[in-house]
Structure 1
Amino acid sequence: MTSEEKNVAELMLDQLSLYGVKRIYGVVGDASFGLIDALARQDQIQFIACKHESTAAFMASAEAKLTGGLGVCTATMGPGATNLLNGLGDAHADRAPVLALTGQAPTDKIGKTVPQFVNQQDLMKPFAAYSANVASPDAALDLLEKAAGTALNQRAVTHLSVPKDLFMAQSEAKPRPLPEVIEGASVFTKESLQKAADIMKSAKRPMILAGSGAAGTAEDLKKLAEHWGAGILASLGGKGLVEESFPHMLQGIGEGGNPHAAGLFKEADVVLLAGTTWWPEGYVPEDARVIQIDRHFDQVEKNIPVKIGITGKTEEVLPILVESLSGFSRAEDWMNRCQEVKEKWDRQNEEEGNTEGYPVHPSRIIRALDRTVERDAVLALDTGDNTVWTNRNFRQTDQTTLFSGYWRTMGFGLPAAMAAKLVNPEKQVVAIVGDGGLQMVLADLLTATRYGLDITVVVLNNESLQMEVDKLKVLGAKGVGTDLTNPDFVKLAEACGWTGFRPESEEELESVMEKALNTGGPALVDIPTAQAFFPETE
């Protein structure tokens, strides 16, 4: 190999480094030995060795959600590639830009009866916006550029399979950065927003539904709410965008949100969606005219009945809408009703958070968390009852929340917390998980140990799949398999090199939580949790 030549794997890593990739999550397998060899010979990109490929894909998805950059995961052919699918499903459903790199059978074996061979392009079809098999060494970087560009521009999952022999094949191709995209060239104009402004001015019962896409727009959201006379509701991703004390802030909507806001929201006549695709069936108005702001306006699949779609950045659109409402007279009776709902929920939320008893009520656990975690912590939520209780009772300030939004997979919390700590080592990172969700990824407790990740995992241990228990009860159906056979999580954590904690009473919650949060290295808090029926279960 001349000084001008590198093999395909080395060139792909050089190109990914130009794209800003700092980590690749994966599991070693023989079809990807060439990539593993190249990773071991350089220090630009860190390989994070996971215990299971689904964890690798979850971590790539969480990193992409947190940073907006490209998350990358890798696996071998066959079962390795197949195990990535759950995490790729999460990235696809929540529109996180993730690239999967998988090994494939050698070029002369593709299509033949080879152990572990599967057509990976067919395998990835449900999730990947682009999937290709690298057929020659000199095509690798062109395909990588298309895959990475598609992932970032479309906020999508993409995939490349690379035959085992091609990873180490020589190539004279030259790595290159992605084309620069000029920001700020928005599709809308002031004139084009006039129709939206006219609809907003006709509102008697306006509401704003804000999500993570409205990050950084708190002041404009508040100005708009005040001028328009609107209540503000938040999706789970939008919690904490506007401080709880703001008079128009009604907190969450949907399962686990403000239980009194749904009835009010259903009466809204005009709704502005700011940076969210969340439209929870059963909690939303049927006849309201909906205005949606989205940078990539392709949200028809989310079944939102949008009247006007504005393609642009929320932070650019909101100030113009505020200006357009100059002279508008808001409906004070509607504002009074919003205030009543806000005050009623504030009182109830405070009461629920002080529920006494042991095993501990979920609301009390969440209250202990919002009293002890740092204001700018990253919270990684698993899917289950822990999600809805957090949405209901956590009084978020400036924390960032990672969760599996539309895919709603169990097992997301621990991998997401690990990725968050790698991305932001200076931040406090807390995973809030159920016992069922944690058991799906128990082996990767050792991944946190391996990389010395200072994270805290809080386990709501009620020895059941409580969300399924509740829903079966509502259906009047019998259940089997909803009770869990749990290990001693403290002993297990300690065996994996973690520090384990367990409060022995409800009164010890805050003190135990603070000890765990201030422990260097990974810490787990196992909290005996009451099997509380969630009040909004349908």
Structure 2
Amino acid sequence: MGNKERTVGELMLDQLSMFGVKRIYGVVGDTTFGLIDALAKQDKIQYIAVKHESTAAFMASAEAKLTGGLGVCTATMGPGAANLLNGLGDAHADRAPVLAITGQAQSDKIGTEYPQYVDQQELMKPFAAYSANLANPDATIEVLQKAARTSLGQRVVTHLSIPKDIFMMPAKGEPRPLPNVIEGASNFTKESLEHAIGIMKTAKQPMILAGLGATSVSEELETLANLWGAGILTSLGGKGLFNESSELVLQGIGEGGNPYAADLFKEADVVLLAGTTWWPEGYVPTNARIIQIDRQFDKFVKEIPTELGIMGKTEEVVPFILESMQGFSRSEDWVTRCQKVKEKWAEQNKKEGSTTGYPVHPSRIMHALDRTVAPDAILALDTGDNTVWTNRNFRQKGQSVLFSGYWRTLGFGLPAAMAAKLIQPDKQVVAIVGDGGLQMVLADLLTATRYGLNITVVVLNNESLQMERDKLKVAEKEEVGVDLTNPDFVKLAEACGWKGLRPASDSELESVMEEALNTNAPTLVDVRTAQVFFPETN
């Protein structure tokens, strides 16, 4: 078939569609008019117009985290591109495959004093593994292919800047699919796992630390834990992988985790890390032998004293390990100790979640949520005090969790919830946010209204940046600037076309949550929250 004449913008969309891209998040600017015009003329890719470019990048990052596919965001040159950086930082830190497409000054103005001009390749350098400026329309397919291969193959951010005039030029080339090798081949064999099995079989006090990368093998890991006699701890990304009722699931570790699991974890003699690169500083075993499974070898050097790194997909490695461990004689004394730690924390967690009073204790809010939220819901967490209280007290049943892991930015929760609802409209989606984080993205309440996104936002409203206040207290420093001047969130939500609710007492929490979750419209629940010092602040 001969080449169909298309503009660069049109050809890019055809190629992105072939990559499986369904949405592009962005803010319109004049240097991207060629792309905007092309988007308006087709219906394969939906353009999601947001209020701020950081929201666009957050949504692209959340989509990439949730689906594993390519998240795409766009912005104009200068300030538009600069505003993407926070969300791109999140994608970079959490290894989410995101492509940013930005407009650039027209070709004859690049490198001059043209208004808003900046060298975007230098601008994106800290976050983008590949950044290129399209200098010729006929290179469109090649640079897009390289960007997508790099993003998906390495789980990284990539970036393309397109001069305003080139966006509208005719371009040669035909879209083509990515090669099937994009996911990469396994780098291990069954025989190569013999060393790992040998280490695991020496264990008398084994532990498993699981994260988001173990999503597809949660059942196999539970089976392995029972066979091996290992307690299972999770990073925040692993919250929701295992039902909290499972025999050896001890909940999280680190700030917000099971407080009784910390000492137990320090006694482990062998630890298997599955799908996580996070190592809980201050909670680590002193003499344990560490086995880490991950697709990217560079993850083995993230301050984790790994003895043996297995390079491969968790879903491919774990079944081999499980098969090889058949017949292992586990330590029943260690299993009993794990179970006692689990039971002790479950009892305390229940007690904390029953705390009465108004403004409401954060633990009480989390228990109201875990009683009312669907077991297969998607939870989008903002960063802040709400994160650690969710990690501590929310008793998961299999919910998926989206959060800003290593970047830890305020403002992630609402955009992530909106992206999740666009991707899985039939799922219940709940954003758990603090008042500080929500106020960074308040304008994008209107984005949910614009696209009819039936999400629920629960605001822990304690009129402060509570996590920072707690840390200042621990550091014995004076505080200033941690008190917030809040709007009436209910009235604000209603002004934006949302339904706004506010429980008048802790006894109304469940009924208000249920009303919000059953409302077929964007709904905000403003919970007056007690200013409680988080017990594990450091």
Instruction: Say yes or no: TM over 0.5.
Output: yes
For residue 438 of structure 2, what is the aligned residue in structure 1? 438
Tell me the secondary structure at the aligned position of residue 421 of structure 2: helix
Deviations 1:490-533 (A, max 9, x none): 00000000000000011000001111111111000000000010
For residue 464 of structure 2, what is the aligned residue in structure 1? 464
Deviations 1:143-172 (A, max 9, x none): 011001100000000000000000000112
Deviation, structure 1 residue 380? 0.3
For residue 378 of structure 2, what is the aligned residue in structure 1? 378
| Residues 55 and 441 in structure 2, CA contact (< 8 A), matched pair in contact too | yes
For residue 113 of structure 1, what is the aligned residue in structure 2? 113
Cα distance between partner residues in 1 of 2:398 and 2:222: 16
Cα distance between partner residues in 2 of 1:404 and 1:281: 18
| Residues 3 and 173 in structure 2, CA contact (< 8 A), matched pair in contact too | no
For residue 181 of structure 1, what is the aligned residue in structure 2? 181
For residue 523 of structure 1, what is the aligned residue in structure 2? 523
| CA distance 1:178–1:3, shift in 2 (3 Å) | closer
Cα distance between partner residues in 1 of 2:143 and 2:383: 35
Matched residue type, 1:402:
L
For residue 324 of structure 1, what is the aligned residue in structure 2? 324
Deviation, structure 1 residue 100? 0.1
Deviation, structure 1 residue 183? 6.4
Deviations 1:442-491 (A, max 9, x none): 00000001101000000000000000000000111011000000000000
Deviations 1:240-295 (A, max 9, x none): 22222222111111110101101110111110001111212112113211101112
Cα distance between partner residues in 1 of 2:482 and 2:467: 9
Q: 2:15 aligned with 1:18, yes or no?
A: no
For residue 415 of structure 1, what is the aligned residue in structure 2? 415
For structure 2, the 5+ residue unaligned runs are none
Cα distance between partner residues in 2 of 1:310 and 1:55: 36
Tell me the secondary structure at the aligned position of residue 160 of structure 2: strand
Deviation, structure 1 residue 205? 1.3
For structure 1, the 5+ residue unaligned runs are none
Deviation, structure 1 residue 182? 7.6
Cα distance between partner residues in 2 of 1:327 and 1:78: 62
For residue 8 of structure 1, what is the aligned residue in structure 2? 8
| Residues 372 and 513 in structure 2, CA contact (< 8 A), matched pair in contact too | yes
Cα distance between partner residues in 2 of 1:7 and 1:420: 31
Deviation, structure 1 residue 332? 2.0
Deviation, structure 1 residue 329? 2.4
Tell me the secondary structure at the aligned position of residue 216 of structure 1: helix
Cα distance between partner residues in 2 of 1:197 and 1:393: 35
Cα distance between partner residues in 1 of 2:495 and 2:182: 51
For residue 447 of structure 2, what is the aligned residue in structure 1? 447
Deviation, structure 1 residue 300? 3.7
Tell me the secondary structure at the aligned position of residue 84 of structure 1: helix
For residue 102 of structure 1, what is the aligned residue in structure 2? 102
| CA distance 1:522–1:91, shift in 2 (3 Å) | same
Q: 2:264 aligned with 1:264, yes or no?
A: yes
User: Which is further off, 171-180 or 108-117?
Assistant: 171-180
Deviation, structure 1 residue 119? 0.3
Q: 2:41 aligned with 1:41, yes or no?
A: yes
Cα distance between partner residues in 1 of 2:29 and 2:337: 60
- TM-score, normalized by length of structure 1? 0.98
Q: 2:246 aligned with 1:241, yes or no?
A: no
Mapping for residues 481-496 of structure 1, pairs under 5 Å: 481-496=481-496
Deviation, structure 1 residue 349? 0.5
User: Which is further off, 167-176 or 53-62?
Assistant: 167-176
| CA distance 1:336–1:58, shift in 2 (3 Å) | same
For residue 369 of structure 1, what is the aligned residue in structure 2? 369
User: Which is further off, 232-241 or 25-34?
Assistant: 232-241
Cα distance between partner residues in 2 of 1:514 and 1:279: 36
Cα distance between partner residues in 2 of 1:106 and 1:218: 51
Tell me the secondary structure at the aligned position of residue 322 of structure 1: helix
